[in-house]
Amino acid sequence: MAYKLYNAQLSPYSARCRMQMYAKGLEFEAVSPFETLSPEEFASLTPLKKVPVLDVDGLILPESQVIAEYLEEVEADVPLLPSDPAERAQVRLLSRLGDLYLMMPLGKLFGQVNPQGRDPKLVQYMFGELDKAMAWLAHYVDGSKYAVGDKLSLADCTLVPMLFFASNITPLFGRECVLCETPIIHNYFTKTLEDPAVARVVDELEEAFAKMMGPKTEPQKQPAE
């Protein structure tokens, strides 16, 4: 099968898919629809007009979680879901915590990065929501290299890009090391960087984030899920 991933390098949802595909050893073409397609062309591909979108020989799949589940079913040689039902449930729980509770405040804070027009009350509220999400996440991880078990899973593919954002966005608001405030999460994030697929994606995120924050570049919103 030929895979084409429409993605944005800085999108944590796109990063989730790239990490999964790297870990599985899949060859794919990564394309930025915002650079290669007109808005009308992208809308004809997916009315959601969000990344990521996976094109599999003409089968068009939006939504990172849908993409992840599809790849687990069709590319089963390197599974990123444990065989044990309890561990599979743990992976799904952590992914859901990330999607619903961790990424929401991070996304809102990302929109407040530029001090001009910043809403202090919104920022304060979102930091409260972020602190709750970090505490909930800390309840379910133990600081080991991987979120569940002893190898990379879809939970790591979900959480690591989000924690990268938490680590890099919050200093722009005066919180210098939000991960350090929760040692279990800091230990997990630091150790999981030893995984080649994780390290590759984090390198990509760092490059994209540095480009966004360049001296002549104003922060821009990245369309994502």
DSSP-based three-state secondary structure for 169: helix
Predicted confidence at residue 151, as pLDDT, reads 97
Residue among 224, 125, 136, 127 nearest 172 (CA):
127
Torsion of CA 122, 52, 205, 184, to 10 degrees: 70
Distance between CA atoms of 153 and 92, rounded to whole angstroms? 10
Q: pLDDT value at position 214?
A: 86
Would the CA dihedral through 120, 125, 126, 128 be positive or negative? positive
Q: 3-6 and 29-31: which strand pairing?
A: parallel
* Count of Cβ atoms closer than 10 Å to residue 2 Cβ: 10
Residue intervals of the chain classified under CATH 3.40.30.10 are 3-74
Please tell me the predicted confidence (pLDDT) of residue 201. Answer: 98
pLDDT (tens digit per residue) in 169-209: 999 999 999 999 999 999 999 999 999 999 999 999 999 99
Amino acid sitting at position 138: A
State how far the Cα of 28 lies from the Cα of 18, in Å rounded to an integer: 9
Coil, strand or helix at 140? helix
pLDDT single digits (tens) 70-83: 999 999 999 999 99
Reported as a single tens digit per residue, the pLDDT across 85-118 is 999 999 999 999 999 999 999 999 999 999 999 9
Give residue 210's Cα distance to chain centre.
17
Q: Where in the chain are all domains bearing CATH 1.20.1050.10?
A: 85-212
Q: Which of 14-28, 31-45, 144-158, 202-216 has the lowest mean pLDDT?
A: 202-216
Identify whether the C-beta of residue 80 lies closer than 8 Å to the C-beta of residue 25: no
Across 2-23, average pLDDT: 98
Please determine, for residue 150, whether its predicted confidence score (pLDDT) is greater than 70.
Answer: yes
| pTM as predicted | 0.93
- pLDDT above 50: residue 221: no
**In whole angstroms, what is the distance from residue 225 CA to residue 82 CA?**
26
- Fold (CATH) for 85-212: Glutathione S-transferase Yfyf (Class Pi); Chain A, domain 2 (1.20.1050)
- 116 near 176, Cβ under 8 Å? no
Would you state the pLDDT for residue 225?
62
CB-CB contact of 95 with 160 (8 Å): no
pLDDT digits (tens, 9 = 90+) for 25-69: 999 999 999 999 999 999 999 999 999 999 999 999 999 999 999
Cα 156 to Cα 162: distance, rounded to the nearest angstrom = 10
Q: What is the DSSP letter of 28?
A: -
CATH architecture of 3-74: 3-Layer(aba) Sandwich (3.40)
